[in-house]
């Protein structure tokens, strides 16, 4: 894996030893600008440093990762890194504003790749958990909302986004450039009156778009 720049990170976990381990796994291309052990300290650090990425545990004092996502989802890309594989926890994290959810057993190389993608604003989920999310929202109504305003191509792109594919992967699947995929996403956001990609992902999930 080759990086062309650095990613600034706020690392949030109430276990100091675990934070040290994650920091070591991230390697030199991720610059940890602050650490925190509870939600309130994390929110303060994020507002101060405005990092590219927040790597955050789900269960912590003072409101946990959900509070961090709700308060700071508009400031940084937030990924939950947790031991919980519970479907409800994942759904709550997405609803709160997180654009990623990874389990702590993720191997270091996979973790670095996923977090690099997340820092660019792409959705990242542990594969088994992504299928859980889509399975849950398949049960929900597919008729509500303005999805009829999307073109067939835009709906196709939205389906891939909801599954967690990168722009490059979507482009390869649809035989279009990654830049064209990005333009489609921008158009979808405009049509659905959504301002951030995680809102788009959440919309797709809530309306059973798979």
- Check which CATH number belongs to the domain holding 37 and give it: 3.40.50.2300
Q: Which range (36-45, 110-119, 147-156) has the least confidence?
A: 147-156
For 54, half-sphere exposure in the C-beta direction (CA atoms, 13 angstrom radius) is 36
pLDDT at 61: 85
pLDDT at 177: 85
DSSP tag of 8: E
**Counted domains in the chain:** 2
Q: Are residues 84 and 142 in the same domain?
A: no
Q: Are residues 72 and 157 in the same domain?
A: no
User: Which of 134, 162, 177 is the endpoint of a domain?
Assistant: 134
pLDDT at 53: 95
- pTM over 0.75? The answer is no
Length of the chain: 210
pLDDT at 205: 66
The larger pLDDT score, comparing residue 16 to residue 185, is at 16
Q: Which residue has the tokens 């990623």?
A: 100
Q: Are residues 40 and 115 in the same domain?
A: yes
Domain annotation covers residue 45: yes
At 168, which CATH number?
1.10.10.10
User: What domain range includes position 166?
Assistant: 138-206
User: Which of 102, 134, 166 is the endpoint of a domain?
Assistant: 134
Q: Are residues 116 and 61 in the same domain?
A: yes
Q: Are residues 82 and 15 in the same domain?
A: yes
- DSSP H helices, the chain, are 16-26, 39-49, 64-72, 87-96, 108-119, 127-137, 152-162, 167-174, 178-191, 197-206
Sheet holding 7-12, edge to edge: 30-36, 7-12, 53-56, 77-82, 100-103, 124-125
Q: Are residues 52 and 128 in the same domain?
A: yes
Average pLDDT, the chain: 80
Domain annotation covers residue 2: no
Classify residue 170 as exposed, middle or buried by CB count within 10 Å of its CB (0-12, 13-18, 19+).
Answer: buried
């Amino acid at each position: 894996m080759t990086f062309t720049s650095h990613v600034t990170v706020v690392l949030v976990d109430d276990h100091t030893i675990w934070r040290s381990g994650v920091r070591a796994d991230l390697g030199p291309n991720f610059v940890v600008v602050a650490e925190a052990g509870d939600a309130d300290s994390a929110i303060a650090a994020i507002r101060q440093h405005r990092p590219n990425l927040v790597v955050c545990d789900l269960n912590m004092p003072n409101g946990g990762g959900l509070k961090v996502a709700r308060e700071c989802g508009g400031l940084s890309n937030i990924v939950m890194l947790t031991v919980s594989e519970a479907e409800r926890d994942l759904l709550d994290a997405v609803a709160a504003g997180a654009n990623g959810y990874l389990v702590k057993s993720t191997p270091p190389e996979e973790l670095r790749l996923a977090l690099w993608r997340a820092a660019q604003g792409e959705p990242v989920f542990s594969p088994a958990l992504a299928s859980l999310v889509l399975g849950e929202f398949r049960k929900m109504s597919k008729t509500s909302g303005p999805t009829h305003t999307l073109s067939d191509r835009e709906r196709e792109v939205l389906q891939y986004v909801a599954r967690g594919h990168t722009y490059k992967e979507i482009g390869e699947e649809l035989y279009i450039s990654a830049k064209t995929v990005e333009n489609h996403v921008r158009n979808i956001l405009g049509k659905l009156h959504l301002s951030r990609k995680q809102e788009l992902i959440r919309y797709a999930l809530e309306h059973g778009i798979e």
